[in-house]
Structure formats: C-alpha cells, structure tokens
Amino acid sequence: MNLEELKKIREKAQRDLQLRQKQARIRIVVGMGTSGIAAGAREVLKTFLEEIGRRGLTDVVVTQTGEKGLASREPIVEVYEENKPVIIYGNINSEKAKRIVVEHVVNGNPVTEFAIEAI
C-alpha cells in the first residue's frame, strides 16, 4: 500500500465527482471543545463522517467547533440546513448520530426526542 494508489482513486473518483458538484445542503457541526471531547464527541464525529461517507452524501459537510457553552448536554451536535431552523441536539452518542443521519439528514425529519433547541 502506497501513496501512488491515490492516483487511481483520484482518476476513478473524478469521473463521478463531475456529475455531482453541488452546494452543501446540510452542515453538521459537532462540539469538540475540551468538555465535548471528554464527553465522547470524538466517537460522534467519527460516526457522522463514516455514515455520510458510506452513503455517498456529497452535499453534506461534517465539521467541528470549539466550546458551545452547553457543557452539561454534551456531546452537542448542530444541524444547519438552508431555510430551516438550526436544530441543536444534546447528549448524542454514536447510535443517536446514526438515527440523526437516517431520519434528519436523509429523510428530512429532525429527531425531536434528541433536540434541545431549534433556532
């Protein structure tokens, strides 16, 4: 296994990349401040990256932020979608993250039982 293999991946991926150059539809932001990390946010961020990648959702961006000021409800996840309220989820773990991907990101229905705020 070496970096040369990246060239093959690039050539193959570029072909379908051209077909799906879209604007980000949804942005998922995981709170990864010190307390978030201590509360298990790394697993949550990992799950989102894996689930979004596995489903080939190229119009979804997964990223992190520093402290969110909601330390008691960490791990915190915010979902931003154009023309819709921002949904803030609290006490998220890997299993809940999977449900958010299926129900909210794919099917468009926020998982109200995990939501702590909608702005």
**Rule CB under 8 A: which residues touch other proteins?**
1, 3-7, 9-10, 12-14, 17, 30, 32-35, 37-38, 42, 45-46, 49, 53-54, 56, 62-67, 69-71
In the complex, minimum distance from the CB of residue 13 to other proteins, in angstroms, rounded to a whole number: 5
DSSP-derived secondary structure for 92-114: --HHHHHHIIIIIIIT----TTT
DSSP SS3 for 38: helix
Nearer to other proteins, 67 or 103 (CB): 67
Whether the Cβ atoms of residue 71 and residue 21 lie closer than 8 Å to each other: no
Nearer to other proteins, 21 or 83 (CB): 21
Which residues, in sequence order, are CB contacts of 93 under 8 Å at separation 6+? 40, 43, 44, 75
Nearer to other proteins, 12 or 84 (CB): 12
In the complex, minimum distance from the CB of residue 80 to other proteins, in angstroms, rounded to a whole number: 15
Nearer to other proteins, 26 or 35 (CB): 35
Dihedral (CA of 60, 61, 63, 69) sign? negative
